[in-house]
Chain A
Amino acid sequence: MNVKHNLQELTNIATRLRLHVVDMVAPSGQGYVQQGLGAADIFTTLYFAEATMDTANPSWPDRDRIFLTTAHNTAIFYATLAERGFFDVEDLATYVTDGSSLEINSSERMGSFVEATCGSLGQGLSVAVGCALAAKRQGRASRFYVILGDGEMQEGQVWEAAMYAGAQRLDNLCVIVDYNFVQSEGPMNLVMSLEPVMHKMESFGFACQEVDGNDIESLLSAYDLARETKGKPSFIKANTLMGKGVASLEGLMFHQLRFPPEVAASARAELEAQL
């Protein structure tokens, strides 16, 4: 069930996911293109290399669980789930249309591969901590991955959950913060800086690593190290570039980007050239 790929394969998967993101958001302009492009490598490595799951039985109790707590980053999330085999790739075309379960904010009404409904920011880590505690009690080998937003870490509940995870030495928990440095109102340091976030998480009892969140090999090594770390939960600060893979969008500072057809066509052409 755990499908290991070589680097070239994973790179191609990431590009395919990015193309889906562009195609999904282009028709309505609704969705988070830059965030999806930026997080594509995190999703690729977690779902196609690191986590053990069973697409035929998504609620398999011994699965690894991935919580997307920035639940608005759904274009990349749904593209990943579909390519991983949880539902048909054709369904991606219904993204953000009336009546489709592929909503902007992911909801567990889609199926148990949405591990919790997390669009109200700051709640997901607590749920993951609860699952991780239960798994320890039940003697399961499952691991729990949380894709957290950097802006989301301003919510107090995140720190309550982190404090408990550290105190409980939850080494089956791995928090990956998608550190793209942009929140709704702009760059994080202009709103409320998180820094020094590594020191903060260290002091909460986490084993911390900082990686290039758009470097597949670095992400895989970070997960390896996290898995080998005993007696502490792991925190991976994955620095990502919003718009990664589409030069015309890389680093543009929009949280809610509009996606005019001209820009979408250009993005698609750039990505296709990379396949």
Chain B
Amino acid sequence: MNETLTQLEAADFINRSFKRLPRAYGDALVEAAKVDPRIVALCADLVPPTETDLFRDELPERFHNVGIAEANMIGMAGGMARCGEIPFCHSFCAFITKRVFDQITMQAAYPNLPVKIVGFLPGVTTLLGVTHQAIEDVAIMRSVPNMAIFEPSGPEYHATMVKLALDWNGPVYLRMKRPETTPADFTPQKLEIGKGVLRREGSDITIISAGLCVGESMTAADTLAKEGIETRVVDMASIKPIDQTLILESAARTGAIVTAENHNIIGGLGSAVAEVLVEEGIGLPFKRVGVMDQFCEGGTTSYLMKKFGLDATAIVLAVRQVLEKKE
């Protein structure tokens, strides 16, 4: 039989077991807000999970935890923006897009207000399961006029997301993933609105990817290089407006394209790339990697990426299939 703990002892064990995660986005938001007094932050009762704890502590008069009430948050943000403020609204991707889509369209997008919608837990990446997974968010947010969508491929780009959101003079959706570890030593390239980032050069095929799938695409490119396949990898951090020039140039240069995204294959990045190609009259071997139009389940990120065909292995397979058609 174990000795039982006192409450103080239990609380001490619990407090020491909390792991501190990096907070590049949240820190950058506070930094920007200290310079620009128009910036305010709203959060629907998910403060540390959306990295807004520093904002809450440092700028309490400009911070609102609105409770578990997302629709009201977006409406209030519209009001604040009408009065000259720049509200950054925070929740999980699933709730801050799907749940409040009507409020976003009418109170942020139609009046073209600088309401910045910041979601965490993109795509499948959560233990919390289907209710907390956003595999449709890019599709619906992309269909909203005036809306821009940016998704960082890693924590190295998190601080830049604040800048991009501010540079876009209207509503923005940031699709963020909480880093689980401190970023590796990596020099980020410059991100700009409407520009993709060339992460790797190659002449046989292009993988156009965003978010978590960029890392998987880079791993896939390494594997393919061993087979003599030279892969160009594009990080399309600016999902909307999308980099048409880079897509068309990649098509001309490599003659085959695979897209990879942590999202349903319908309506997301793959669809956006296909639209650009088809509208230019370009037909070429092409395949979308993503969730195959099915609901997912909760699990560890690596497990889900594998199970739902979003990992490097799935991308390699897609590239091989596409290249068979190229010849």
Interface size on A, residues (CB 8 A): 48
Partner of A260, one of B13, B72, B94: B13
A-B interface contact total, Cβ < 8 Å:
126
Interface string of A94-126 (1 = CB under 8 A from B): 001011010111010100000001111110000
Q: A209: CB under 8 A from chain B?
A: no
Q: Does A192 lie within 8 Å of B132, measured CB to CB? A: no
Assuming the A-B contacts A120-B99, A151-B45, A183-B45, are A103 and B6 also in contact, with contact meaning beta carbons closer than 8 angstroms in the complex?
no
Q: Does B129 lie within 8 Å of A104, measured CB to CB? A: yes
B30-54: which residues lie under 8 A (CB-CB) from chain A?
45-47, 49
Partner of B128, one of A99, A104, A262, A272: A104
Consensus secondary structure, chain A interface: loop
Interface string of B1-30 (1 = CB under 8 A from A): 111111101110110111000000000000
Q: Does A154 lie within 8 Å of B297, measured CB to CB? A: no
Q: Does B130 lie within 8 Å of A107, measured CB to CB? A: yes
Question: Among B62-70, B137-145, B244-252, B280-288, which stretch is in contact with chain A?
Answer: B62-70
**Chain B residues whose CB sits within 8 angstroms of the CB of A151 once the complex forms:** 45, 67-68
By beta carbon, the residue of chain B nearest A151 is: B68
Q: A263: CB under 8 A from chain B?
A: yes
Q: B164: CB under 8 A from chain A?
A: no
By beta carbon, the residue of chain B nearest A247 is: B7
By beta carbon, the residue of chain B nearest A118 is: B131
Q: Does B68 lie within 8 Å of A248, measured CB to CB? A: no
Assuming the A-B contacts A98-B299, A155-B69, A268-B2, are A120 and B131 also in contact, with contact meaning beta carbons closer than 8 angstroms in the complex?
yes
Q: How many Å lie between the Cα of A268 and that of B1 in the bound state? A: 9
User: Interface residues of B toward A: which range?
Assistant: 35 or more
Assuming the A-B contacts A105-B298, A156-B69, are A191 and B3 also in contact, with contact meaning beta carbons closer than 8 angstroms in the complex?
no
Q: Does A105 lie within 8 Å of B7, measured CB to CB? A: no
What is the CB-to-nearest-CB distance from A265 to chain B, in angstroms, rounded to a whole number?
Answer: 4
Q: A7: CB under 8 A from chain B?
A: no
Assuming the A-B contacts A154-B69, A247-B4, are A184 and B128 also in contact, with contact meaning beta carbons closer than 8 angstroms in the complex?
no
Q: Does A105 lie within 8 Å of B65, measured CB to CB? A: no
What is the CB-to-nearest-CB distance from B45 to chain A, in angstroms, rounded to a whole number?
Answer: 5
**Chain A residues whose CB sits within 8 angstroms of the CB of B17 once the complex forms:** 29, 258-260
Q: A215: CB under 8 A from chain B?
A: no
A228-275: which residues lie under 8 A (CB-CB) from chain B?
247-252, 254, 257-260, 262-263, 265-266, 268-270, 272
What is the CB-to-nearest-CB distance from B185 to chain A, in angstroms, rounded to a whole number?
Answer: 30
Q: B127: CB under 8 A from chain A?
A: yes
Partner of B129, one of A99, A119, A192: A119
Q: How many Å lie between the Cα of A268 and that of B95 in the bound state? A: 36
**Chain B residues whose CB sits within 8 angstroms of the CB of A269 once the complex forms:** 1-4
By beta carbon, the residue of chain A nearest B299 is: A98
Q: A185: CB under 8 A from chain B?
A: yes
**Chain A residues whose CB sits within 8 angstroms of the CB of B131 once the complex forms:** 71, 105, 107, 117-120
Partner of A248, one of B5, B66, B127: B5
Q: B71: CB under 8 A from chain A?
A: yes
Q: A30: CB under 8 A from chain B?
A: yes
Q: How many Å lie between the Cα of A105 and that of B94 in the bound state? A: 14
Q: Does A266 lie within 8 Å of B10, measured CB to CB? A: yes
Q: B300: CB under 8 A from chain A?
A: yes
Q: A152: CB under 8 A from chain B?
A: yes
What is the CB-to-nearest-CB distance from B72 to chain A, in angstroms, rounded to a whole number?
Answer: 7
**Chain B residues whose CB sits within 8 angstroms of the CB of A120 once the complex forms:** 94-95, 99, 131-132
What are 18 A-B contacts with C-beta separation under 8 Å? A98-B300, A105-B132, A107-B297, A117-B130, A118-B131, A154-B45, A155-B69, A185-B47, A191-B67, A192-B65, A248-B6, A248-B7, A252-B14, A258-B14, A258-B17, A260-B17, A266-B5, A269-B3
Nearest 4 Cβ contacts at the A-B interface: A119-B131, A192-B67, A248-B10, A258-B17
Q: Using A101-B297, A185-B45 as known contacts, list a sample of 15 further A-B pairs with CB atoms less than 8 Å apart, ordered by residue number in A.
A: A71-B131, A105-B130, A121-B68, A183-B45, A184-B49, A191-B45, A248-B5, A250-B7, A252-B7, A258-B18, A259-B14, A263-B5, A263-B13, A269-B3, A269-B4
Q: Which residues in B have some Cβ–Cβ distance to A below 8 Å?
A: 1-7, 9-11, 13-14, 16-18, 45-47, 49, 65-69, 71-72, 94-95, 99, 127-132, 297-300, 303, 307
